[in-house]
Amino acid sequence: MERPLLNFIPTASQPLVTELLAIDNLIVKVKNERKTRHGDYRELPNGKHQITVNSNLNSYRFLITLIHEIAHFEAYRKYGRFIKPHGKEWKQTFQHLMLPFLHPEIFPSELLPLLAKHFKNPKASSDTDTELSFALKQFNEDNDKTYVFEVPLDKTFKIHNGRVFKKGNKRRKRYECMEVTTSKLYLFNPNAEVELID
């Protein structure tokens, strides 16, 4: 049996989300994990609008992702289809929608300053905000994943699709890692989740 949508978000946020979702033509689906995205929004051929969010997100990330996608829908309704996906109209809409949720009853106190900072200029993905992303991951269920910044220099690790990399030096914010089979260099976010190879 599927879990109702409200079971995925912090209890104190449920009335606000219920109010936001009391909109005709908006369908919200909870999906199995997708590696490339936490959620998405699109207009369906029948004129309805659909949001999907990954089921494996912790409740705080799920809530942020849900509001991120609702902001796409609201910005589309208000400004039309020709706006940039993560342009100023979306950013303003996201900030406006998120503000009532930035509350100690909803988010743990250690996340609130990071969220406040993030929402001064929200990015297309909260994953690009390394500090916030790492703080949010502390609320994930335990798993055997390691973060790139924890991998010792010159050690190998693999990513979700099985490709193997060797960790190199840190550039300004990201780590240079060499793909073992091709010797190509790639840059990794410090908080990318990887699996260490013994």
Three-class secondary structure of residue 111 per DSSP: coil
Q: Is the domain covering 5-137 a CATH 3.30.2010 domain?
A: yes
User: What is the fold, at CATH topology level, of the domain defined by 146-196?
Assistant: SH3 type barrels. (2.30.30)
pTM for the whole thing? 0.77
Residue indicated by tokens 């109702």 = 4
Return mean pLDDT, the chain. 89
How far is 105 from 112, CA to CA, in rounded Å? 11
List the domain boundaries for the chain: 5-137, 146-196
User: Which residues of the chain have a pLDDT value below 70?
Assistant: 1-2, 24, 142-145, 198
pLDDT in tens, 161-173: 889 999 999 988 8
pLDDT at position 157 is: 92
pLDDT at position 79 is: 94
pLDDT in tens, 85-122: 899 999 999 999 999 999 999 999 999 999 999 999 98
Three-class secondary structure of residue 97 per DSSP: helix
Count of C-beta atoms within a 10 Å radius of residue 188: 21
